[in-house]
């Protein structure tokens, strides 16, 4: 992949994350000041399609990222993730610290914070108990306006064994893990992704994170999940 193609892929993904609509060449030239003609962009988009980083939806003339494209994008931003705003970090720490002796209260505070900060459903699995927050907003997301996709998300969140399988799919030592549905071969999860982190509460191992469409704001969600998980581990793991 050339440098220009990589920058174009980044622009396509950022635009799709923001708009949830297939991205056209003219839109990219005008908004991202790429200093090339729409014709050149179309040619480069054709190359990105051949390489499997973007695809063309049946109902649109634009292009959308593939799982392969998202993976490359996430890898490229891992070294440039920004820490949470100092004020946001202070509020989160205060909420978690105030409820540190009550597992349910800690987790619901953490999940509501993640939901409010990221706009996606947050979830946790601790000692085979499932927690989640933010389901009420899900029908407003384009990806879940179809009843079947909404049912798929709810099925993942309500099925303890299925969720456990997903969260244990990646056993890497990373603090934050990004799991793309198409990698799991689990049909109901194929249009989604999870950004999550292992945690330990009162000697019980588990996970906390955010689940939703692949069109997540990874640059915002990853640091938020990492911060919340780190603070839970620091504050309550020894109790």
* Domain-wise residue ranges, the chain: 3-79, 84-236
Alpha-carbon gap, residue 163 to 156, rounded angstroms? 6
Q: Which of 1, 14, 95 is nearest to 50 (CA)?
A: 1
Domain 3-79 matches domain 84-236 at the CATH topology level:
no
> What is the full per-residue pLDDT of the chain (239 aa) written as tens digits?
899 999 999 999 999 999 888 998 877 877 877 788 888 888 999 999 999 999 998 777 789 999 999 999 999 988 878 788 888 889 888 888 888 888 889 899 999 999 998 989 999 999 889 999 998 888 888 888 888 888 999 999 999 999 999 999 887 777 899 999 989 988 889 889 999 999 988 788 999 999 999 999 999 999 999 999 999 988 875 55
pLDDT, residue 239, reads 57
Specify whether the CB–CB gap between 197 and 190 falls below 8 A: no
Alpha-carbon gap, residue 132 to 223, rounded angstroms? 19
The architecture (CATH level 2) of 3-79 comes to Orthogonal Bundle (1.10)
Alpha-carbon gap, residue 166 to 170, rounded angstroms? 8
pLDDT, residue 238, reads 56
Instruction: Name residue, tokens 């409010």.
Output: 116
pLDDT, residue 140, reads 84
pLDDT, residue 237, reads 58
Q: Which of 117, 220, 114, 209 is nearest to 169 (CA)?
A: 209
Report pTM: 0.90
Q: Please provide the CATH number assigned to the domain covering 84-236.
A: 3.30.450.40
């Amino acid at each position: 992949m050339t440098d220009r193609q990589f920058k174009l892929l980044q622009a396509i993904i950022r635009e799709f994350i923001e708009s949830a609509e297939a991205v056209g060449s003219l839109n990219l030239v005008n908004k991202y000041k790429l200093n090339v003609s729409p014709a050149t962009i179309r040619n480069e988009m054709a190359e990105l399609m051949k390489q499997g980083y973007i695809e063309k939806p049946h109902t649109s003339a634009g292009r959308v990222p593939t799982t392969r494209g998202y993976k490359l994008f996430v890898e490229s931003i891992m070294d440039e993730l920004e820490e949470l705003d100092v004020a946001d970090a202070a509020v989160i720490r205060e909420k978690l610290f105030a409820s540190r002796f009550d597992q349910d209260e800690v987790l619901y505070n953490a999940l509501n914070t993640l939901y409010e900060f990221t706009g996606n459903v947050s979830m946790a699995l601790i000692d085979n108990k499932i927690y989640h927050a933010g389901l009420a907003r899900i029908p407003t997301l384009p990806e879940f306006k179809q009843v079947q996709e909404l049912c798929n998300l709810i099925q993942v969140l309500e099925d303890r064994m299925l969720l456990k399988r997903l969260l244990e799919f990646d056993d890497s030592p990373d603090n934050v893990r990004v799991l793309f549905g198409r990698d799991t071969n689990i049909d109901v999860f194929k249009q989604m992704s999870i950004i999550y982190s292992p945690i330990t509460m009162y000697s019980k191992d588990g996970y906390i994170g955010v689940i939703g469409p692949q069109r997540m704001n990874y640059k915002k969600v990853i640091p938020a999940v990492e911060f919340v998980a780190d603070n839970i581990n620091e504050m309550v793991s020894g109790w």
